[in-house]
Amino acid sequence: MSRGRELLLMGRRAMRELTRVPRPQTVGGNRIELLQGGDALFPQMLQAFAEAEREIWLATYIFHDDPSALALMQALADAARRGVAVHVVVDGFGSKATLARLREQLLPAGVMLEVFRPLERWWAWLQPGQLRRLHQKLCACDDRVGFVGGINLIDDRLDLNHGWGDAPRLDFAVALHGPLVPSVLAAARAVWARAHLASSWREEMRTVARSAQPVRRTLAWMHDLRARTALPTHDEPVRASFVVRDNLRQRRAIERSYVNAIRGATAQVDIAVPYFYPGRTFRRALRQAARRGVQVRLLLQGKIDYRIAALAARAVYDELRGHGVRIYEYTPAFLHAKVARVDGRWATVGSSNIDPLSLLLNLEANVIVDDPGFNRALGERLDVAFAASREVDEPLRGQGWRGWIGRALVAWASALYLRLAGIGGRY
């Protein structure tokens, strides 16, 4: 084997190891606070940035440049200037419009900024995997505090397609303290490393024929980074877990968590999500739960941001309502929450929608909480949202051939999109 080939294989093995996210581990001893909207999340993030002493890891789909987001940018830059190792990774599509501003604000301060699958040149769309985006919203500071949820770094009242509004979008995140935080840090570190290595590894491999030093330098950096962020082990009682969906070893972890919780439900299932087109297994779990007497309620978009997503959701309305699932459309503002609660204990808050993009393509992250108090707090927020929504109660019209055609068209479009993204099999 040639020296270049050997170094390339070493690099790939090291890259897989560094970017591996640990499998979900349930741990107790956590303090978990439910946060509604950026109005609640951003002040806590600003405080965490100001108090960070060693490192900050942040991953997000959208990092905008409105006043709320600029305050977060400034806090990250300030932390880097006082010696904190600040790592930020943004999605190349979601943050495309503000990359120049991010670089202008963060790079001079020493923030280590990376872009996941950048799209700054038209030919980037031709590269494999560009339909798979970074959709996680993660932050960890010093293994001390972490944030996970569905909230992008953009003002609650600003929508990128529809401009400013009076009412804040409905969205949630959690603030974490305790042994679950290192898992959040590991996930943010992994996606940052994937973006960094994708941009630097190809460039360094071009020089391998002349010298092995660049490759050895990268391998040493990877080893040092993993050693500094190694996860501790915990034996506390079960309380919460951190679950990701990636394209490596945990492709369907979030979907399985949902389906298993719904299958075990005895009294109540509440789900709030903006983009809803579940696969057959998920839909079957909802139908079966409703048929055995579980109250199943779905809170979906009433104020539409993407018309095609709304059409996809409505293609399955009649199928689910025909088995007793109750569907509500949230109309006071845009719905962006990705949360659920089952019975009196199980609850989840995260970034994952219930559609092919989130369940099979994008990088996603959810926290699953097994706690009556947290479940009750989320339930109170959801009850308010359901009360402000319109229940879909029109007569069922899509049970015949028109409904079948509508579902078939959506299924065909979903399957085509997944094939373009390199995903095979039925959905």
C-alpha distances in Å from residue 420, one per residue of 128, 252, 276 = 9, 19, 20
- 213, 228, 243: which is the final residue of a domain? 228
Low-confidence ranges of the chain (pLDDT < 50): 3-4, 7-11, 14, 17, 201-219, 221-222, 226-238
In a domain, 127, yes or no: yes
- 228, 244, 275: which is the final residue of a domain? 228
> What pLDDT, on a 0 to 100 scale, did the predictor assign at position 212?
44
- Check whether residue 258 and residue 374 sit in a common domain: yes
- CA 244, 173, 103, 95 torsion-angle sign: positive
- Check whether residue 266 and residue 189 sit in a common domain: no
- Check whether residue 22 and residue 169 sit in a common domain: yes
Q: Side chain identity at 319, as an amino acid letter?
A: E
Smallest CA-to-CA distance from 167 within 331, 349, 384 is with 331
Instruction: Map residue 406 onto helix, strand or coil.
Output: helix
In a domain, 133, yes or no: yes
How far is 237 from 32, CA to CA, in rounded Å? 15
- Check whether residue 215 and residue 258 sit in a common domain: no
> What pLDDT, on a 0 to 100 scale, did the predictor assign at position 235?
41
The CATH number for 43's domain is: 3.30.870.10
> What pLDDT, on a 0 to 100 scale, did the predictor assign at position 87?
98
In a domain, 13, yes or no: yes
Contact 382, 340 (CB under 8 A): no
> What pLDDT, on a 0 to 100 scale, did the predictor assign at position 222?
47
C-alpha distances in Å from residue 421, one per residue of 19, 255, 257, 290, 310 = 21, 19, 24, 34, 22
How far is 44 from 75, CA to CA, in rounded Å? 12
> What pLDDT, on a 0 to 100 scale, did the predictor assign at position 66?
97
CA 395 from chain centre, in angstroms, equals 35
**Cα torsion at 262, 268, 269, 271 (round to 10°)?**
-170
Count of structural domains, the chain: 2
Count how many Cα atoms sit within 13 Å of the Cα of residue 243 in the half-sphere of its side chain. Answer: 22
In a domain, 55, yes or no: yes
In a domain, 24, yes or no: yes
- Check whether residue 141 and residue 76 sit in a common domain: yes
Ramachandran angles phi, psi of 350, nearest 5°: -175, -155
- Check whether residue 33 and residue 150 sit in a common domain: yes
Residues contacting 353, CB < 8 A, separation 6+: 273, 274, 275, 276, 338, 359
- CA 364, 370, 374, 376 torsion-angle sign: positive
Tens digit of each residue's pLDDT (9 = 90 or more) over 246-271? 766 667 889 999 999 999 999 999 99
- Check whether residue 55 and residue 200 sit in a common domain: yes
What tokens does 174 get? 């959690």
- 188, 212, 228: which is the final residue of a domain? 228
- Check whether residue 62 and residue 122 sit in a common domain: yes
- Check whether residue 211 and residue 264 sit in a common domain: no
> What pLDDT, on a 0 to 100 scale, did the predictor assign at position 233?
41
> What pLDDT, on a 0 to 100 scale, did the predictor assign at position 305?
79
- Report CA Rg, the chain: 22
How far is 351 from 408, CA to CA, in rounded Å? 27
Q: What is the pTM of this model?
A: 0.84
Residue 95 belongs to domain spanning: 3-228
- Check whether residue 212 and residue 276 sit in a common domain: no
- Check whether residue 162 and residue 262 sit in a common domain: no
How far is 402 from 422, CA to CA, in rounded Å? 30
Residue tagged 């303090």 (tokens): 31
> What pLDDT, on a 0 to 100 scale, did the predictor assign at position 132?
84
Catalytic residue numbers, as ranges? 135, 137, 142, 336, 338, 343
- Check whether residue 83 and residue 212 sit in a common domain: yes
> What pLDDT, on a 0 to 100 scale, did the predictor assign at position 306?
75
